[in-house]
Structure 1
Amino acid sequence: MHQNRTQYSLYRPVVVGSEPTMPTTCGAFSGIIILAQCFGLFPLVNVRSENIDNGENSLKFKRKSFRFVHSCIIIILIIFNLLFYTMQVAEIGLDFETTVIFLFFCFGPASTMLLMHLARKWPSIMQQWTQVDVKMESYGFPVNLKKHLYLTTIVVMSFFITYSLTNSPEMKNVTNIWIGLNEYLKKVGSHVFSHIPYNPGFGIAFKVVEITITFVWSYMDVFIMTIAIALAARFRQINERIKRILEDIQEKQKSTLEENDNVETKDTEQKQEQNGGLWMGIREDYNSLCQLTAVIDESIAYIILLSFANNLFLILVQLLHSIEPQEKTRVIDRLYFVYSFGFLILRTSAVAMTSSQIYVESTRPSWFLTTQLPEEYCDNEVERLLTQIHATGGCFLTGNGFFKIKSSLILSIAGAVVSYELIFIQFHFSGFTWCYSDLFIMIMSSALAVRFQQITTRLKKITEEQGSRWRLEGARKNHAEESNKLWKEIREDYNKLCVLCRTLDEAISYLVLMSYSTNLFFILIQLFNSLRNKNTREKIYFFFSFGFLISRTISVSLYAAWVNDESKKPLLILNSIPSHLYNLEIKRFVQQISFDSVALTGRHFFHVTRGLILSVAGAIVTYELVLIQFNENLLKEDSTILLDTNGYNIGAN
């Protein structure tokens, strides 16, 4: 069976368990580990060694070493730094700025201890990774992987250095370097030296602590990105091998057809037997990578969670600063805000996009095998590989199970950030934001609905063309095959639209929820005001504002429900297709439309369909009837609130 695996000259055989004869991932990560050790992190010995056999010169976590003592001293200083700041907070109290700094100092001990814990596991992780490298030796080592890892590290850390320099305290009127240095250290460690006498040695030590915490903040992102790059590169190699095998099979099929056009099939079992060992090898390599990904995810899950939490927290803090009055802000401060905010956004996006490549590359074999592999070559090993990919949903890193890093995570984060910013802006510029959020939902809904309309239009055209061809030409031998291929293409296009709709919904579902909540709240307020006595001016204003609210809410609902309406229309056409044109792909298409609900949602609390309009109307009518019933007890002229369409109080009697 192993001989079958090496039939193709493209692929060299490998004896699993042998020593690697090429670079390993352990060696590729050595420079990144050494960088961390410069700041007292990752207390490992023999970092440059690619030997993982637990020998004297192998990579080890060693407690009786200078690096371990260095790491312990750094962690102790970071903990003392947090304790001193906690004492200062207890004295002066908490406000927004002190809370931000306090959480930043809390990040220090958490991140350094997590990296210390990871350092204990790192030799065993590298041992398993090297075993995968040896097993996949026939694939070759990923091209330029080491350079790619180092380039990523240099780019991110260079931004970190610039960010740290621009964030340093400003010193004025300093004529003596030594005096200036002492003043600088006192300012940096003010929370420490308010409790203990100032000493230059302590000042330098706690400045090192601040630099280390800032470094760890960037290093954790770099570490996650480099891990993801290395894993995705290995999955990409499997995809490239599958692609080459499929190309070989297609070429072999063409040559066979040219030699003998009359041969329908050439012993399917023989073809499966010839390629069975090859597919078994690929499945085993894929499974080894999946197991390695699971081990790594278990080891760095808390690091990922802490990294994303810290980055998002700082992004939200910067967003809050962005809506503060800018009249008294200096130009240099505005430039710093733009740079720092852009740095945060780019880095968080880079971590998410890089990490999501593991999921993208690990699910790609499914597409190759289901769309390009001929049926006669599909054996038990191929089915096992497909079953594994579909059952597990591919491989990915996670934030300790709270979230999975896929491509859609970026949109989810963006949606949450946008919703957060809109809520803050609404407190400052409520009128524009309120209208714009509704307009944005309507535009996005229209764009999706039009795409579904195109699918429906194409279905009508194809159904008519196929019916005409059948009447003119009758049943031809290759007619069914062409029809299957065409319907499969349309079904896959429809499926891509459904996936796009779900991705968009994840991104804007908070916005939809907020839009409906705001609109309904002001409708109910206006209904409450409808029961009081009004003069002519107030009556005109009431009818205008109430009509505007109702019209806008209905418009948003109709536009958003348009997506659901158009997604169901293909079903009517598919059900009317004559029996002689009906095939398996059409059946799958019908089942997908029947059982898959495509609609925008308010964070899954409700689906925006036409039925939602009646539900909202029923709730409003019920509310109004209750108000009318208790009118005499609830309404008093002196306490009536009248709101304009922007939600502002414009007067009361």
Structure 2
Amino acid sequence: MCFLKLAKESNADLSANTSIIFYGTNCTTTIIFLRIAMKWPKLCQHICRMEAADPSIDGALIKKCNISCIVVLSLAAMEHVLADVSGIALAIDCQPDRNLYEAFILQSFPWIWTFFNYNPVLGFFAQVINFQCTFNWNFSDIFVICISWYLTARLQQINERVVAMKGKIVPASFWRTVREDYSKATDLVRRVDDVINCVIFISFANNLFFICLQLLHTLEPFRGYEQAAYFVFSLVFLMSRSLAVSLIAAQVHSASLEPAKSLYDVPSASYNVEVQRFLDQIHGDTVALSGLQFFKVKRGLVLTIAGTIVTYELVLMQFTGVTPTGTPPNFPQPIIPIFSTPKNKTKKIIMPILSLFVPEEYNDVKDIVSEIGKVPPNTLHEEYIAPSKKTTSPPATFQGAMKLTILIGQCFGLNPVLGICETDAGKLRFLIYSARCLYTLVSIAGQFWLFCLWVLKLIKETNVNFLANSSVVFYGTNCLTTILFLRMAMKWPQLCQHICRIEAADPNVDSSLVRKCNISCIVFVNIQCTFNWNFSDAFIICISWYLTARLQQVNERIVAMKGKIVPVSFWRTVREDYTIATDLVRKVDDVISGVIFLSYANNLYSICVQLLHTLEPFHGHEQAVYILYSLLFLLVRSTAMSLIAAQVHSASLEPAKALYDVPSTSYCIEVQRFLDQIHGDTVALTGLQFFNIKRGLILTIAGTIVTYELVLMQFTGVSPTTTVMDYTMIPVAVTPAP
């Protein structure tokens, strides 16, 4: 009926004809599930035979599937109710003289009444079909989620068996059995994918289309609060549901790679051809659900879809005539830098806050800075230091390197851990009822309150201006950053204690580490103190310095023996130390990857906003200086963070250069294992596993920024082929004398 109406009226408007996509994809989905039903008994019988030989031990599997089903369907029902309420309100406004039910049906299904006269029975039947289609649309996502939970559980069951034997000496028969079980699990993933990949494809396509459609609706004025509530809720629900489907389905691929981390730790006495075959299978085979084999569902797919949506929205802005320029934003005023205030004001403002977090022996801010980096002496182990790097200076500890950064962060409610000034990591602790944690919770509440006020203002005024609503992003991301650091504080003591044990066995000999961390913190935090925003970058930089130093320490030992004949025991020891260092990178990344993701997103957004400002006339020299300085500072800070964080990945690859030069008389299975581990394992900090921080990431971000600027030039009418106006020469507006 929708198609016949389109052919009759030849109306190419996207919004007016979305019903064709909605009912067409739902009809296709029903046909696909009919096809799945033909294969379902055979697939379930195969799975049943697997479970008879190896029962699933995940007791939470059924609960996760049921909760997923209930939550998604409940939210879908709420969305459907809001859609009907919005439709009823629109019917009342547009056709106040008609019967309410009749007006609602005529408004909801206009394509039917193009060919038929109004009939309440036919209208009721259309309502039932519409409700069924809404269910089918959501059921596809639920189906993919539940299947993904099950497949992930099968792979995790094997991973747990591998992790349980990590570092232990076990017979070859154990590895043969585990490898065969892994092969059965991956074969099951492929069998399931052959059955459901059509559903995955149409689910992703459907979600992408309707997210873009709802974004289009947000660019138009809302007709009342009912419609505003429906479109905002629908967009948030769509994005949340699509993100949940993508992340849960991507866990299948992530779980298939997990065994490699433990296989690198297999002792030399247990290493055999079965372990090698297992590693080759993990790295050589891509195990993941797919959309008709057009794409594999991995975590990186989420960013690809997000980029597609952003591109689509920019194109829609062009078509609808909406530009991101307009009313200047009401940016929050930057906080005055701590060290630029007069001394008496500094003591009055800062010292009451510092007294909550700093021990009594630190009587001034200057004392804190001078005391940072003093690390208690420790005995160095000669066998862990390259001959050219032996030193009598005390080792640089993780506690010492991060002390200044965390102390300053706690002044603003970030990472509220107790015992930061202690040299013993065992004294670190997190208490939910401490003054620091209370201060953090108050900060979160205040930031969330400001965020909610801006959201309410946005809904009330229906202002889609990009710059005028940037404060929503500012307060929202800052609130989220504080929450992430609170979550990190809960894991921080355990992480620091793990690092302390590593340092006890292998002290860090990079004497400049504490100085580099302190300088990075002072430079990036105190130049421009809208604090939380800058602190995230400083925190990542300091963590990256430390992790790079750990890897470089291993690299220096290898380079010192480059071309020399050394025993097998040396390569075994160095490989094991390298494995410990890479495992530390993964442990740290598990704790801070959320902060990294938010930091990159925030920096990219802020750079784009400041680029947008540079395309507008400046209101005087003061604004010109601020905008240009802010843009330059953002670019330098983001580039510095990316380059320093990317050093972790670069340092993890360096041993390979020396291992290629190992003399034939020294070449052994340990050297081969070392090379396989370097080339097979990606060691890098990540943004929630969506992307790895490598040097090439900078070019990717730069390309995104350039693309965005070219689109902005179109919006603002600026042409790169014409003479550029010298905005800095525009005089400040002067009020004429009376």
TM tier relative to shorter chain: 0.5 to 0.7
CA contact (8 A) 1:441 1:560 kept: no
CA contact (8 A) 1:121 1:299 kept: yes
- Amino acid in structure 2 at the alignment position of 1:170: I
Name the SS of the counterpart of 1:387 in structure 2. helix
Alignment pair present for 1:105 and 2:23: yes
What does 1:360-375 correspond to in 2, within 5 Å? 360-371=254-265, 373-375=266-268
CA displacement 1:159-187 (0-9 Å, x = unmatched): 2222212211317789xxx9765554444
Name the residue aligned to 2:185. 289
Alignment pair present for 1:386 and 2:279: yes
Alignment pair present for 1:486 and 2:380: no
TM-superposed CA distance for 1:295, in Å, is 2.2
CA RMSD between the two structures = 5.5
CA contact (8 A) 2:603 2:638 kept: no
What does 1:86-485 correspond to in 2, within 5 Å? 86-87=6-7, 90-91=8-9, 93-136=11-54, 139-140=55-56, 142-143=58-59, 145-168=61-84, 169-170=87-88, 181-182=101-102, 184-244=104-164, 246=165, 250=168, 272=171, 275-276=172-173, 278-325=174-221, 329-330=224-225, 332-371=226-265, 373-393=266-286, 395-414=287-306, 416-417=308-309, 427-429=324-326, 448-458=540-550, 484-485=575-576
Name the SS of the counterpart of 2:115 in structure 1. coil
- Amino acid in structure 2 at the alignment position of 1:397: L
**Distance between the aligned counterparts of 2:24 and 2:325, measured in 1?**
32
Q: Measured at CA, do residues 521 and 590 of structure 1 come closer, stay the same or move farther in structure 2, by a change above 3 Å?
A: farther
**Distance between the aligned counterparts of 1:607 and 1:452, measured in 2?**
24
- Pairing partner for 1:560 from 629, 639, 647: 639
CA contact (8 A) 1:224 1:355 kept: yes
Q: Measured at CA, do residues 230 and 587 of structure 1 come closer, stay the same or move farther in structure 2, by a change above 3 Å?
A: closer
CA contact (8 A) 1:449 1:562 kept: yes
TM-score by length of 1: 0.58
Name the residue aligned to 1:262. none
Q: Measured at CA, do residues 356 and 507 of structure 1 come closer, stay the same or move farther in structure 2, by a change above 3 Å?
A: farther
Name the residue aligned to 2:407. none
TM-score by length of 2: 0.52
**Distance between the aligned counterparts of 1:115 and 1:517, measured in 2?**
45
CA contact (8 A) 1:600 1:607 kept: no
**Distance between the aligned counterparts of 1:322 and 1:374, measured in 2?**
58
Name the residue aligned to 1:62. none
Which stretch shows the higher mean deviation, 307-316 or 428-437? 428-437
CA displacement 1:390-437 (0-9 Å, x = unmatched): 1114x2112223432223333444455466668858624597668989
Q: Measured at CA, do residues 565 and 147 of structure 1 come closer, stay the same or move farther in structure 2, by a change above 3 Å?
A: closer
- Amino acid in structure 2 at the alignment position of 1:455: L
TM-superposed CA distance for 1:480, in Å, is 7.8
**Distance between the aligned counterparts of 2:75 and 2:704, measured in 1?**
43
CA contact (8 A) 1:448 1:563 kept: no
Q: Measured at CA, do residues 478 and 164 of structure 1 come closer, stay the same or move farther in structure 2, by a change above 3 Å?
A: same
Name the SS of the counterpart of 1:375 in structure 2. coil
- Amino acid in structure 2 at the alignment position of 1:299: V
**Distance between the aligned counterparts of 1:605 and 1:587, measured in 2?**
33
> Highest Rg: 1 or 2?
1
**Distance between the aligned counterparts of 1:184 and 1:323, measured in 2?**
25
Q: Measured at CA, do residues 589 and 159 of structure 1 come closer, stay the same or move farther in structure 2, by a change above 3 Å?
A: closer
Q: Measured at CA, do residues 566 and 144 of structure 1 come closer, stay the same or move farther in structure 2, by a change above 3 Å?
A: closer
TM-superposed CA distance for 1:356, in Å, is 1.8
**Distance between the aligned counterparts of 1:458 and 1:309, measured in 2?**
44
Q: Measured at CA, do residues 294 and 521 of structure 1 come closer, stay the same or move farther in structure 2, by a change above 3 Å?
A: farther
TM-superposed CA distance for 1:210, in Å, is 1.3
Query: How many equivalent residue pairs?
Result: 481
Name the SS of the counterpart of 1:348 in structure 2. helix
What does 1:619-638 correspond to in 2, within 5 Å? none
CA displacement 1:29-88 (0-9 Å, x = unmatched): xxxxxxxxxxxxxxxxxxxxxxxxxxxxxxxxxxxxxxxxxxxxxxxxxxxx4334434x
**Distance between the aligned counterparts of 2:555 and 2:175, measured in 1?**
39
CA contact (8 A) 2:162 2:259 kept: yes
TM-superposed CA distance for 1:589, in Å, is 9.9
CA contact (8 A) 2:207 2:238 kept: yes
**Distance between the aligned counterparts of 2:282 and 2:658, measured in 1?**
35
Query: Relative to total residues, which structure has the larger helix share, 1 or 2?
Result: 1
CA contact (8 A) 1:506 1:603 kept: no
CA contact (8 A) 2:554 2:574 kept: no
CA displacement 1:472-517 (0-9 Å, x = unmatched): xxx9999986655434323444578999999979996999699689
**Distance between the aligned counterparts of 1:285 and 1:587, measured in 2?**
27
- Amino acid in structure 2 at the alignment position of 1:490: A
**Distance between the aligned counterparts of 1:210 and 1:322, measured in 2?**
23
CA displacement 1:233-292 (0-9 Å, x = unmatched): 211222233344x17x84xx6xxxxxxxxxxxxxxxxx63xx41x433322222122122
Q: Measured at CA, do residues 329 and 548 of structure 1 come closer, stay the same or move farther in structure 2, by a change above 3 Å?
A: same
Q: Measured at CA, do residues 323 and 279 of structure 1 come closer, stay the same or move farther in structure 2, by a change above 3 Å?
A: same
Mark the runs of 5 or more structure 2 residues left unpaired by the alignment.
Answer: 330-465, 475-529, 559-565, 663-669, 685-692, 707-719, 734-738
